[in-house]
């Protein structure tokens, strides 16, 4: 249907809009999406891949799809590269790496990634800021780095926390058998909920607040129930229930910086990067030294986390870098209500071998993990005050069960909770089964997914905007008599993140930035940084003054001034190349 026909159709229904269009066809206030993706739902793995393909097909000029590697079960870890090739290759630009769902059950991470791709492409050419960011930066987005865990969460009955691991078989109970005692959906309702048994000697009683909730008895009180854990039987007849579930490790403990073996850090794996998923991800990031920002999406509890994961690593976080990261996180917490700006080991827990610890400590990349969704958002209950150590328990069930059940009854119309029902258990006899379903607690309600996606995508775009952005500032040439002149060049970084992190300079990570001057008929006879612009003191380099190596790069919202002494006349080609700040050039006439 031609555009004019649509306009006349609109005229018949929307009179005011119709008049405006007839006079001067303005873009619609709410444009029809080029790719109509819904963000009030979650996508299982095939649906997710399909959505990515739709986006790439609709925007072949901006998006490419590639596989970072294959999971243990053979699923591709798809990566969407957002880049405008007309403004240069992705590798020539500072890039933002975004991934999610390393914990298979932390599913909405993939939708946050999907949304960000969708939003940037929908608004490219429409919003000036989006257009600028897409033109100047590249994005590598891997919505799920644990597709097996994701598939298992969607396709199999699970608890509100299970399917966190990848699916490489693992002998959790060290009996020589692999993954032989998983949870069981005993009552066939598609969920793994809780088991409880009436027991006059039990340690729990019915809560006065809500009869569905059990609370621990106080000394002297009479018990009514015993809690028997998640739904399941003793599949392997070893006397234990659900003790060897599929996988059984933690891919976010498998990274080389401050990696600790299994007995010191649960879930760590045999050695760093031991699983196909972590190894492939690390190889991809290593092969893209232009990555200057990292964002990992997890759930839950509403946190914007940065390293270090463990107090022993604090020395690896120089203050200059941390000040900048803290500010980015602080603004993020303003952009995303109910999220707090945290340092992992100080405000959450101590952990070794985490992903963003590695990307910052070993690769010098400013990195964040967002824990998506805080159940406090559901009823708008007050946020935890001050520096309360962890709101994880509060926000995902815990002592807020009564509130959660209120929400279940009134907001979800009973859909996120299975009422207790009797069941005959082969080991425990007469029990009751019931509790929250897997798509509650850690996972937002469908009607709040889009808000979650937008706020967090906006935070990533803001972080991407803070990656170094270099430009030439003042350039001054002074003739010194004969064919000798001095050339003073200012290089500015107009964003908050330095082109070389202090961490990277300290540990000689990656290549130093290089500022060079070349030109026919020109000889650079000396040069270096201008230490004092009033006295004119220049710290001369020992050799090759035409290519000045800048180990510390250009500071955030800062500048460098370099001075060359040049003989001859002609065109001077200035070039500033930075692995994480991109490459800029300028031509200056020396005449």
Partner 1 sequence: MKASLSVIVAVALSLVGVTWVGAQAPKDQPKEASKAATKPQSLFPAGYADHETISSRLRGLAAGQPQTLQVQSLAKTREGRDVWLATFGHGTTPKPAVLVVGNLEADHLVGSQVAIGLIERLAKADGKDAAVTKLLDEHTVYVVPRLNPDGAERLLKGSPKTAIRTNLTAVDRDRDGRENEDGPNDIDNDGFALTMRVKDSKATLVADAKDARILRKAETAKGERAVYSEMTEGIDDDQDGSINEDPAGGVNLNRNWPHGWTEYNPETGFSPASEPEVNALIRFAFAHPEINAVWTFSLNDNLRSEAKNVAPTDAPYFAELTRVFNNATGAKEETAKKAETPKAEVPKAEPAKTETPPAGRGPVGKGQGRGPGGGRGGAGGAAVQPAASAAPAPTSDGTTDGAMNEWAYQQFGVIGLGSRLWSTPEGATGEGEARWLDWNDKIMNGQAFVPFHTVDHPTLGKVEVGGWKPGVRLNPPSESIAAITDGCYVFLKDLTGKLPALKIKETKVTSKGGGVFEIVATIENTGYLPTALAQGLTTRRTPPVLVKLGAGKATLLGGRALNRIDTLAGSGGSREFRWLVLAPEDVKTVTLEASSARTGAVRTELPLR
> Which residues in this chain contact partner 1 in the complex, by CB under 8 A?
174-176, 237-239, 256-264, 270-274, 282, 286, 312, 320, 352, 361-362, 498, 500, 502, 505-512, 515, 527-533, 539, 541-544, 548-553, 555-556, 558-562
The tokens describing 587, both together, are 């031509």
Q: Which residues pair with 472 in a beta bridge?
A: 491
Q: Which is nearer to partner 1, 337 or 558 (CB)?
A: 558
Strand boundaries in 313-365, DSSP class E: 340-343
In the complex, the smallest distance separating the C-beta of residue 105 from partner 1, rounded to whole angstroms, is 25
CB nearer partner 1, residue 519 or residue 555: 555
Q: How far is the CB of 326 from partner 1 (least distance, A)?
A: 15
Smallest distance, partner 1 to C-beta of residue 378, A: 39
Residue ranges of alpha helices (H) inside 369-417 are: 392-395, 401-410
Which residue lies nearer to partner 1 by CB, 67 or 532? 532
The nearest distance, CB 528 to partner 1, in angstroms, is 6
Residue 294 and residue 283: Cα distance in Å, rounded?
15
Q: Of 197, 244, 246, 241, which Cα lies nearest the Cα of 223? A: 197
Nearer to partner 1, 130 or 511 (CB): 511
- Cα(186)–Cα(183) distance, rounded to whole angstroms? 9
State the minimum distance, in angstroms, from the CB of residue 563 to partner 1: 9
Q: How far is the CB of 345 from partner 1 (least distance, A)?
A: 13
Up-side HSE of residue 69: CA atoms within 13 Å toward CB? 15
For residues 127 and 511, which CB has a smaller minimum distance to partner 1 in the complex? 511
Nearest distance from C-beta of residue 514 to partner 1, angstroms: 9
302 vs 555, beta carbon nearer partner 1:
555
Q: What is the dihedral of CA 296, 301, 305, 310, to 10 degrees?
A: -110
> Under a CB-based contact definition with an 8 Å cutoff, are residues 425 and 186 in contact?
yes
Structure-token pair, residue 449: 């997914």
Give the C-alpha separation, 435 to 421, whole Å.
Answer: 10
Burial of 91 (0-12, 13-18, 19+ CB in 10 A): middle
Q: Which is nearer to partner 1, 109 or 538 (CB)?
A: 538
Query: 66-78 b/e with 16+ CB inside 10 Å = b?
Result: eebbebbeebbbb
Distance in Å from the first CA to the final CA of the chain: 61
SS3 breakdown of the chain: % helix, strand, coil, rounded to 5? 30, 25, 45
Nearest to 155 by CA among 167, 171, 169, 145: 167
Q: Would you say 391 or 466 has its CB closer to partner 1? A: 466
- The single-letter DSSP state of residue 17 is H
Judged by beta carbon, residue 379 or residue 531, the one nearer partner 1 is 531
Residue 276, helix vs strand vs coil: helix
Q: Which is nearer to partner 1, 231 or 361 (CB)?
A: 361
H or E segment to which residue 197 belongs:
strand 194-198
Q: Is 251 helix (H, G, I), strand (E, B) or coil?
A: helix
Minimum Å gap between C-beta 356 and partner 1 is: 16
Query: Please, what's the b/e burial string for 368-404 (b: 16 or more CB within 10 A of its CB; e: otherwise)?
Result: bbbbbbbbbbbeeeebbeeeeeebbebbbbeebbebb
Looking at the Cβ atoms of 364 and 434, the one nearer to partner 1 is 364
Cβ nearer to partner 1, comparing 41 with 549? 549
CB of 248 to partner 1, least distance (A): 13
Compute the least distance from the CB of residue 366 to partner 1, in Å: 14
**Please, what is the minimum distance in Å from the beta carbon of residue 516 to partner 1?**
11
Q: Edge-to-edge strands of the sheet including 547-550?
A: 547-550, 513-518, 570-578, 582-590
Identify which of residues 301 and 548 has a Cβ nearer to partner 1 in the complex.
548
State the minimum distance, in angstroms, from the CB of residue 275 to partner 1.
Answer: 11
Distance separating alpha carbons of residues 505 and 509, to the nearest angstrom: 7
Q: Which two tokens stand for residue 15?
A: 């009179």
Smallest separation, CB 433 to partner 1 (Å)? 27
Residues 6+ positions from 55 with CB-CB distance below 8 Å = 35, 37, 63, 80, 114, 117, 118, 121
Q: What is the DSSP letter of 27?
A: P
């Amino acid at each position: 249907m031609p555009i004019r026909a649509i306009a006349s159709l609109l005229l018949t229904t929307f009179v005011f809009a119709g008049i405006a269009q007839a006079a001067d066809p303005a873009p619609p206030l709410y444009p029809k999406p080029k790719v109509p993706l819904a963000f009030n739902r979650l996508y299982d793995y095939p649906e997710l891949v399909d959505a990515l393909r739709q986006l790439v097909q609709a925007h072949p000029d901006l998006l490419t799809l590639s596989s970072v590697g294959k999971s243990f079960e053979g699923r591709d870890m798809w990566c969407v590269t957002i880049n405008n090739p007309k403004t240069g290759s992705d590798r020539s630009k500072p890039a933002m790496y975004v991934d999610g769902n390393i914990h298979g059950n932390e599913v909405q991470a993939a939708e946050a990634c999907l949304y960000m791709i969708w939003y940037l492409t929908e608004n490219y050419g429409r919003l000036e800021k989006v257009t600028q960011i897409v033109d100047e930066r590249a994005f590598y987005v891997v919505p799920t780095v644990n597709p097996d865990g994701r598939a298992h969460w969607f396709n199999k009955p699970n608890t509100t926390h299970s399917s966190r691991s990848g699916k490489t078989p693992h002998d959790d109970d060290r009996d020589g058998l692999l993954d032989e005692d998983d949870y069981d959906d005993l009552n066939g309702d598609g969920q793994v909920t809780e088991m409880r048994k009436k027991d006059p000697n039990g340690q729990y009683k019915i809560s006065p607040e809500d009869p569905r909730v059990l609370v621990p008895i106080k000394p002297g009180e009479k018990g009514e129930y015993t809690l028997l854990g998640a739904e399941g039987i003793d599949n392997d007849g070893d006397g234990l229930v659900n003790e060897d579930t599929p996988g059984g490790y933690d891919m976010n403990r498998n990274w080389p910086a401050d990696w600790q073996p299994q007995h010191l850090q649960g879930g760590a794996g045999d050695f760093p990067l031991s699983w196909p998923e972590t190894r492939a991800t690390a190889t991809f990031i290593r092969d893209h030294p232009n990555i200057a920002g990292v964002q990992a999406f997890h759930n839950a509890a509403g946190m914007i986390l940065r390293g270090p994961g463990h107090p022993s690593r604090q020395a690896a976080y120089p203050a200059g870098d941390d000040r900048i990261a803290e500010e980015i996180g602080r603004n993020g917490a303003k952009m995303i209500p109910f999220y707090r700006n945290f340092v992992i080991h100080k405000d959450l827990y101590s952990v070794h071998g985490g992903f963003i610890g590695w990307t910052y400590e070993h690769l010098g990349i400013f990195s964040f993990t967002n824990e998506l969704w805080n159940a406090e958002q559901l009823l708008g209950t007050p946020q935890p005050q001050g520096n309360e150590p962890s709101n994880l328990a509060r926000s995902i069930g815990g002592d807020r069960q009564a509130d959660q059940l209120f929400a279940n009854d009134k907001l979800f119309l009973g859909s996120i909770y299975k009422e207790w029902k009797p069941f005959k258990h082969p080991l425990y006899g007469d029990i009751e089964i019931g509790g929250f379903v897997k798509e509650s607690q850690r996972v937002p309600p469908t009607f709040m997914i889009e808000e979650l996606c937008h706020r967090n995508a906006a935070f990533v775009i803001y972080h991407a905007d803070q990656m170094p952005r270099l430009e030439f500032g003042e350039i001054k040439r002074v003739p010194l008599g004969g064919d000798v002149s001095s050339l003073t060049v200012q290089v500015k970084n107009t964003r908050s993140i330095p082109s070389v992190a202090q961490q990277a300079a300290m540990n000689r990570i990656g290549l130093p930035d290089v500022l060079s001057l070349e030109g026919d008929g020109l000889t650079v006879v000396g040069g270096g940084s201008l230490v004092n612009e009033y006295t004119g003191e220049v710290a001369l380099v020992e050799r090759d003054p035409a290519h000045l190596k800048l180990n510390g790069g250009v500071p955030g919202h800062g500048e460098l001034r370099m001075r060359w002494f040049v003989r001859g006349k002609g065109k001077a080609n200035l070039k500033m190349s930075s692995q994480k700040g991109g490459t800029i050039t300028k031509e200056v006439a020396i005449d």
